Amino acid sequence: MLLVVMQAEATPADLARVCDLARERGLTPQVMAGRAQTAVAIDGVEGRAVGAALQGLSGVAEVLQVDPPYRKAARAAHPSPTIVTIAPGVAFGGEQVPVIAGPCSVESESQIIRAAEQVKAAGAVALRGGAFKPRSSPYAFQGLGAEGLTLLARAREATGLAIVTEAMDDEGARQVAEVADCIQVGARNMQNYALLKTVGRLGRPVLLKRGAAATIADLLLSAEYILNEGNPSVILCERGLRSFDATVRNLFDLTAIPVVHQVSHLPIIADPSHGTGRRDLVMPMARAALAAGADGLILEVHPEPERAMSDGAQSQTPAQFTETMRQLAGIATVLGRRLA
Ligand code: PEP
Ligand code: MN
């Protein structure tokens, strides 16, 4: 629904032009005459396109979009929460809260197998680890690529953990889809619409991370691209926003969690590792994210964080992760949920 508010001094010809433009597009304008001003309500899915055309026309004061721009991701499209299952027993959006954990990057066979065993022992149900890494610097470690995927598959064989790993481009996405239980689209690629369409067609669940400067509506519009390709399995992820305060790597926007639950049926998880950038802040913010209603968590854990090839400063030690899981289990109980 579009609401076109006319200026007080708009002429009958101005009003007629607005109504004609709507009718030309097959829409039915409804004129609401107020004492000082008139408004025109235009219903129908094409409202958004006509809205842009009406903005700035003579006599038009304001054009308001009343309903959200995303459709399939909106609560109204699916009143009950969507539950996304990435592997047997690993479901996001229901009573259970799965925890995904592991290193930022896959570095070697021994590193990823050790990490997998350690996070599994502490209660994680899925293993994270990037084979294709989007690094700010082209000189930084870029990941092991296809070899990293092979190592992730070995870690799954060894532990039974589900695999979550990032794809950065179309070709990589096809490779990732052959191995991963869930394809991660990272913050930097949240608005890579070609990649979103590709992962929408690959038939695997997608973990879509919020861009560092993306609004909640931007995030849901990106999810809409994946849903539109016929893939209903989208898990959203809050991972922090760029801010002016250098104390932390990102400003972890926990408000996004209850807001997304109000406006969308999709599950949303939280990443306090990238959200804070500091291992000493991960545990308190993991607790806060769960308390805010997160449908899962993704945490960076490294067998030896001081030797990590990426994101060591924000990676928990296995002992810290074990304690985090213990505390999260208590919070889940209070909320009437339980860790998966
Ligand atoms: C990651 O998960 O390691 C990562 C690169 O995350 P983000 O896209 O949120 O920066
Ligand atoms: Mn990382």
Question: Are 228 and 326 in a shared domain?
Answer: yes
Residues 80 and 222 in one domain: yes
Ligand 1, atom 10: nearest CA belongs to which residue? 187
Asked whether residue 40 falls in the same domain as residue 139, the answer is no
Tell me if 11 is assigned to some domain.
yes
Ligand 1 contact via 104 beta carbon (within 6 Å): yes
Give distance in angstroms: CA of 67 to centre of ligand 2. Answer: 35
Please state, in angstroms and rounded to a whole number, the distance separating the CA atoms of residues 325 and 317: 12
Same domain, 230 and 264: yes
Q: Are residues 29 and 127 in the same domain?
A: no
Helical axes 170-179 vs 193-201, angle rounded to 10°: 30
DSSP structure string for 140-178: S----THHHHHHHHHHHHHH--EEEEE--SHHHHHHHHH
Same domain, 196 and 298: yes
Answer yes or no: is the C-beta of 186 below 6 A from any ligand 1 atom: yes
Residue type, 298: I
Q: Are residues 131 and 276 in the same domain?
A: yes
Q: Is the CB of 209 under 6 A from ligand 1?
A: yes
For ion ligand 2, residues whose CB falls within 5 Å: 104, 311
Q: Ligand 1 in contact with 240 (CB < 6 A)? A: no
Positions of the chain with pLDDT under 70: 45-47
User: Same domain, yes or no, for 262 and 313?
Assistant: yes
Is the domain of 56 the same as that of 160? no
**Residue at 70 is within a domain:** no
**Is residue 149 located within the same domain as residue 24?**
no
Answer yes or no: do 123 and 26 share one domain.
no
Nearest CA to ligand 1 atom 3: 104
Tell me, in angstroms, the distance from the centre of ligand 2 to residue 277's CA: 9
Task: State the residue range of the domain holding 8.
Answer: 2-65
What is the pLDDT, as a whole number, of residue 44?
A: 73
Per the domain annotation, does 48 fall within a domain?
yes
Counted domains in the chain: 2
Q: Which of 247, 252, 244, 245 is nearest to 282 (CA)?
A: 252
CA distances from 232 to 72, 100, 140, 181, 201 (A): 9, 20, 35, 15, 11
pLDDT tens profile 131-178:
999 999 999 999 999 999 999 999 999 999 999 999 999 999 999 999
Going from the Cα of 274 to the center of ligand 1, the distance in angstroms, rounded, reads 7
Ligand 1 proximity of 258 Cβ (cutoff 6 Å): no
The protein residue with its alpha carbon nearest to ligand 1, atom 9, reads 187
The domain that holds 325 is classified in CATH as: 3.20.20.70
Task: Determine the pLDDT at residue 45.
Answer: 58
With respect to residue 241, please indicate whether it lies within any of the assigned structural domains: yes
Residue 165 belongs to some domain of the structure: yes
Asked if the structure places residue 17 within a domain, the reply is yes
pTM of the predicted protein model:
0.94
Distance (angstroms) between ligand 1 centre and the Cα of 189 equals 10
